[in-house]
Amino acid sequence: MAKTATKQKIVAMTGNAGCALAMKQINPDVVAAYPITPQTTIVEEFANYVANGVVDTEYINVESEHSAMSACIGASAAGARVMTSTSSQGLALMWEELSIASSLRLPIVMQTVNRALSGPINIHCDHSDSMGARDMGWIHLFAETAQEAYDNTIMAIKIAEHKDVRLPVMSMHDGFITSHAIDRFEVLDDADVKKFVGDYMPKHSLLYNPNEPVTFGPFAMPAFYYEQRKQLRVAIDGSKDIVMKVTDDFAKLSGRQYGLFEEYRLDDADVAIVVLGSTAGTTRYVIDAMRAQGVKVGMLKLRVFRPFPAEEIAQALSKLKAVGVMDRSDTVGTLGGPVYVETKAALYNSKQRPAMQGYVYGLGGRDTGPDQIETVIGDLVKVVKGEESPREAVTLLGVKE
């Protein structure tokens, strides 16, 4: 157990129950959500907290995710602390509202339990839902474990509402693998979470400043639109420092230190895997086993996907010989998955850079076992030895031929 000033409780809970607990501890003013597998148990459990009177939240039952996000936008613009949660098609149905939330600079926090997009219809994990929404102006955090999903939810509120950020945040964890598995993790006291997130006092709001009315969601013609979009770019680029400030503050409270990404055994590595979500755990397991056999392999596990920490990634990876980037979503019709394409682009102007190849894995919940990670590492070693040239086309891991 980590040494911290504060007392924490070790629990046996599913990732979703942990996220619902974090929501209870945050005690948001408004939650508007619509149930969808595998997110359902979050809103179900949170509805219990509301029904039992342990939170003050106004829980709005809506008839669709489009309405859920619309209600969140209205409540957030009025000055409320707002949270919601969704998955897959639910996120897709929110689509037109997502960019409105970010352009209005509304600090809505949404737990997104990653599930494959239809079709064919599927309930299991991949990242195609949130990756499809990667350019909507939201901050994207990814979790490897239930612990990280719980921790990120608490940090997300503080990041979103920070006066220099004021942007919506999506906090992701893997459907079923993390959401429905019972895991061991530490939870903070209610009072510590309450103190950490503090009160939300927006600068402009109908609730707190009724005598200083402002307009939300105005019409902007060519004379004004572009500058608004520039402000969004400046805000999300600038949020990187605040993400890290909140992350460091959280480490002081919890003893759990996170970063924009984690570098695992990367210092002296020749080859490395870039990955995010629960597969980082399986990758860690394989790396330990292969290190024991003398293979110099490491991992860069992304936690913050938006804002994309391009400069920091380039620095962390430039000295390696070969890097394999794993995507649990496929961006068809282009070079490969989004993590691969962006990681590769981040390194393009580096004087020194590794050979890189992209892998797609685990679509629709296809199990990604140690054998697939070993395959990637084996491929990278062949590139380093000159036995193979780096592949131009992405490799589809674990697909039946």
Partner 1 sequence: MAEVKLTEIRWHARGGQGAVTAAKLLAETALSQGRYFQAFPEYGPERMGAPIQAFTRISSEPIHIRSSIANPEIVVVLDPTLLKAVDVTSGMHEDGVLIVNTDDEPKAIRKAMGLKGRTIFTVNATRIAQETIGRPIPNTPMMGALVKATDMMPIENLTDYVRKSFGKKFSEEIIEGNVRAVERAYAEVKAE
Which one of 60-68, 266-274, 284-292, 388-396 is the stretch in contact with partner 1 (CB under 8 A)?
Answer: 284-292
Q: How far is the CB of 181 from partner 1 (least distance, A)?
A: 4
If one asks whether residue 10 binds partner 1 (CB under 8 A), the answer comes out as yes
Compose the 157-186 pattern: x for residues touching partner 1 by CB under 8 A, - for all others: -----------------x-xxx-xxxxx--
Residues 223, 234: Cα–Cα separation, whole Å:
19
Restricting to residues 286-325, which ones interact with partner 1 according to CB under 8 A?
Answer: 288
CA–CA distance, 396 with 399 (Å, rounded to integer): 6
Stretch that binds partner 1, among 23-31, 41-49, 57-65, 279-287 (CB under 8 A): 279-287
Which residues does 333 contact at the CB level (< 8 Å), separation at least 6? none
Q: Which is nearer to partner 1, 168 or 175 (CB)?
A: 175
> Alpha-carbon distance 236 to 180, whole Å?
31
Q: Tell me which of 259, 281, 364, 390 binds partner 1, using CB under 8 A.
A: 281
Can the peptide bond before residue 38 be classed as cis, meaning omega within 30 degrees of 0?
A: yes
Please list, in sequence order, all residues whose beta carbon lies within 8 angstroms of the beta carbon of residue 367, skipping any fewer than 6 positions away: 398
Q: Minimum Å distance from CB 9 to partner 1?
A: 11
Q: Which is nearer to partner 1, 57 or 368 (CB)?
A: 368
Q: Does 123 bind partner 1 (CB under 8 A)?
A: yes
Residue (2 or 201) nearer to partner 1, CB: 2
Q: Which is nearer to partner 1, 38 or 132 (CB)?
A: 38
Residues in the chain: 401
The tally of CA atoms less than 13 A away on the side-chain side of residue 6 is: 20
284 touching partner 1, by CB under 8 A:
yes
- Residue among 135, 237, 241, 367 that touches partner 1 (CB under 8 A): 367
In the three-class reduction of DSSP (H, G, I as helix; E, B as strand; rest coil), residue 350 is classed as: coil
Q: Which is nearer to partner 1, 183 or 388 (CB)?
A: 183
Window of 110-118, 306-314, 335-343, 364-372 that interacts with partner 1 by CB under 8 A: 364-372
Tell me which of 363, 368, 377, 379 binds partner 1, using CB under 8 A: 368
| DSSP reduced 3-state for 243 | helix
- Our finding on whether 140 is near partner 1 (CB under 8 A) is no
238 binds partner 1 (CB under 8 A): no
Measured from the CB atom, the residue of 180 and 353 that comes closer to partner 1 is 180
198 CB neighbour count, 10 Å cutoff: 10
CB of 57 to partner 1, least distance (A): 25
Determine the Cα–Cα distance for residues 251 and 253; give it in Å rounded to an integer. 5
| Radius of gyration in angstroms for the set of CA atoms belonging to the chain, rounded to a whole number | 21
226 binds partner 1, rule: CB under 8 A: no
Residue 380 binds to partner 1 (criterion: CB under 8 A): no
Residues between 13 and 72 that touch partner 1 (CB under 8 A): 38
Which residue from 150, 178, 194 is spatially nearest to 276, judged by alpha carbons? 178
- Note whether 399 binds partner 1 by CB under 8 A: no
Give the separation between CA 395 and CA 330, rounded to whole angstroms.
11
Sign of CA dihedral 379, 381, 387, 389: positive
Q: Is 153 exposed, middle or buried (0-12, 13-18, 19+ CB in 10 A)?
A: buried
Under a CB-based contact definition with an 8 Å cutoff, are residues 291 and 264 in contact? no
Nearest to 273 by CA among 51, 210, 265, 203: 265
**Strand 169-174 vs strand 261-264: parallel, antiparallel, or unpaired?**
unpaired
Smallest distance from the beta carbon of 58 to partner 1, in angstroms?
A: 29
Nearest distance from residue 106's CB to partner 1, in Å?
33
Q: Check the CA dihedral 269-250-185-176 and report its sign.
A: negative
| Binding segment (CB under 8 A) for partner 1, from list 114-122, 214-222, 239-247, 362-370 | 362-370
Residues that bind partner 1 (CB under 8 A): 10-12, 38, 123-124, 144, 174, 176-178, 180-184, 278-279, 281-282, 284-285, 288, 367-370
